[in-house]
Structure 1
Amino acid sequence: MKSYIFLDDLCFYAHHGVGGQETLVGNEFTVSLRLKVDITRAAATDEVDDTVSYADVYQSVKAEMDVPSKLLEHVAGRIIKRLFADFPQVEQIELKLAKRNPPMGADIKAAGVELECGRADCPLL
């Protein structure tokens, strides 16, 4: 059985960007996660200690989003590293990080990065 925990469209206001205005004013960002986790034990016990708490995952992601960076690639890499460090039960992470309405002179909803890493083969670790 494959099992996952997901968090869709976490919203943050943060100060990531290359331009001075972006880092000063900030922008809205979204993060979506899909974490491969064996939830077999939690399904049987009904105990949060037997799974990965998505409230705790949110706090880890928020801590990384609060650190200003120029590149979303850098922020995404930090989030991946943090989640693998904080949650040893996580086997694989799929992450989507997007900046809403980026200042690039285009009519665009969002732009960003997507990463997928397994604990055993992640080059970021």
Structure 2
Amino acid sequence: MGKIRINNMSFHTYNGVFAEEKKLGQRLQLDAELSYPIEQVVQHDDLTETVSYADVYQTIEDFVLSKNYNLIESLANHLLQQLLVTYPTIEAITLRVRKYSVPIAGIFDNVEIEVSGVQQHGK
């Protein structure tokens, strides 16, 4: 199974539990890994045989910039479901969401969560 990856997408969002996060916002960074049978499907150097990662990026950007959640886990889960519905030819999707401004007393780069989902063909 082939993989299409869009890495390190950065967005200024207003997600978070605390009032400061909702007011000032902070940067979230996302990675999307799309499982797609490139080896079997892409035979003619034709965009219609694959998934447009420009379209996927736009879907992610529109979603992330228009929704606000308390939890990045909720953002990731809802985005995952949106992508699976919007792009039914993608076999599976893994999203990683990183948050850098986390109110934890400690030294670290970021907090990252990961969610994965597969198409439910034949529902």
Under a length normalisation based on structure 1, what TM-score does the superposition of the two structures give? Answer: 0.88
Checking the alignment, whether the CA contact within 8 Å between 1:100 and 1:110 is kept in structure 2 is yes
Partner amino acid, structure 2, of 1:20: A
Aligned residue for 1:52, secondary structure, equals coil
Residue identity opposite 1:14 in structure 2: T
Q: How many residues align?
A: 119
Counting aligned pairs with the same residue, the percent is 24
TM-fit CA distance, 1:41: 2.8
Secondary structure of 1:94's counterpart equals strand
- What is the aligned partner in structure 1 of residue 115 from structure 2? 115
Q: Which moved more, 1:19-28 or 1:111-120?
A: 111-120
**Residue in structure 2 matched with residue 99 of structure 1 by the alignment:** 99
Q: Which runs of 4+ in 1 moved over 6 A?
A: none
Task: Flag structure 1 segments of 5+ consecutive residues without an equivalent.
Answer: none
Q: C-alpha separation between the residues in 1 aligned to 2:119 and 2:111?
A: 26
Give matches, 1:74-85, under 5 Å.
Answer: 74-85=74-85
Aligned-pair CA distance for 1:62 = 1.0
98-107 or 45-54: bigger deviation: 98-107
Greater alpha carbon shift after TM alignment, 61-70 vs 19-28: 61-70
Partner of 1:30: 29
User: C-alpha separation between the residues in 2 aligned to 1:18 and 1:45?
Assistant: 48
Closer, same or farther: CA 112–73 of 1 in aligned 2, 3 Å: same
After superposition, what is the alpha-carbon deviation per residue over 1:4-33, rounded to whole angstroms, capped at 9, x for unaligned?
111111111111000000011011111111
Residue type at the aligned position of 2:4 = I
Structure 2 equivalent of residue 87 of structure 1: 87
**1:31/1:96 contact within 8 Å kept:** yes
Using the alignment, how far apart are the partners of 1:7 and 1:57 within structure 2? Answer: 9
1:41 maps to 41
Alignment deviations for residues 90-109 of structure 1 (CA, whole Å, 9 cap, x no partner): 11111111101322222221
Q: Which sections of structure 2, spanning at least 5 residues, go unmatched?
A: none
Matches of 1:89 and 1:16, distance apart in 2: 30
Q: Is the 8 A contact 2:14 2:24 kept in 1?
A: yes
